[in-house]
Amino acid sequence: MLITSEIVDLNTPTGVMRTYVHRPKHDGKVPAVLFYSEIFQQTGPIERAARFLAGHGYAVLVPEVFHELNPIGTILGYDDAGRDKGNADKMAKDVQAYDTDNRAMIDYLNAQSWYDGNLGAAGFCIGGHLAFRAALQPEVKATACFYATDLHTNIIPNKPGQHSMDRINEIKGELLMIWGKQDPHIPGDKRAELYNRFAAVPGLHYTWHEFNGQHAFMRDEGERYDAQLVNIGYQLTLQMFGNVLK
């Protein structure tokens, strides 16, 4: 399937948010996926992942997650400087600002003739957390969270009652949770705590998968990339999206 890519700049209460839109080139209506990057924003690996999903029949929106804190178009490097800046940005943005970011993207989608009204979310690393956060939006029907960081911590600024896990009971769509057992950012005891909290929510529709993988095993650059796990992760994601969104 051929795809097309464009840039849209969306107004949010916290400033203009550049958003990269990758979607099938045909004229038919398609479901959409809000796709959240790592702390580095839309790097090459994130763009390739977004285009991969788009090639399976989805309009994929990649927002600049720290648009308030960087010049438009900022891409951070996979190096110490980029990691330090991205982590500083993560701790400088209130989690509720992501809610208004989500509303801006949903409002944009609702105005597009090619959008069929079926919405999912996905993300890697902090993007897995932000995809989980997007699942709080009532329009989001299916969400794939890859090694979602800081669901088990209080690092991301939040007001009382606004931590993402504090609102898990509001999620009505399906969740796909994928983790790496060798991920030091979400160690086994913390994954177990999260699992127990998921299991305690009546009616929560989710699947939980733990693989022998390191943090960022979906990133197709660097030594942690695991092509076999990538295939499994995409298979699970596309199966869920196909069942729920199409």
Instruction: List the catalytic residue out of 56, 145, 215, 226.
Output: 215
Whether 183 sits among the annotated catalytic residues: the reply is yes
**The tokens of 43 are what?**
């790097």
Residues 22, 69: Cα–Cα separation, whole Å: 24
Whether 107 sits among the annotated catalytic residues: the reply is no
Residue 85 vs residues 39, 89, 217, 228: alpha-carbon distances, Å: 9, 6, 21, 31
Instruction: List the catalytic residue out of 89, 125, 145, 226.
Output: 125
Instruction: List the catalytic residue out of 89, 101, 150, 183.
Output: 183
Whether 215 sits among the annotated catalytic residues: the reply is yes
Residues 213, 230: Cα–Cα separation, whole Å: 10
The residues near 143 (Cβ < 8 Å, ≥ 6 apart) are 120, 121, 122, 131, 132, 134, 135, 171, 173, 174, 175, 176
**241: helix, strand or coil:** helix
**The tokens of 59 are what?**
């309009």
DSSP state of 68: G
Active-site residue numbers? 125, 183, 215
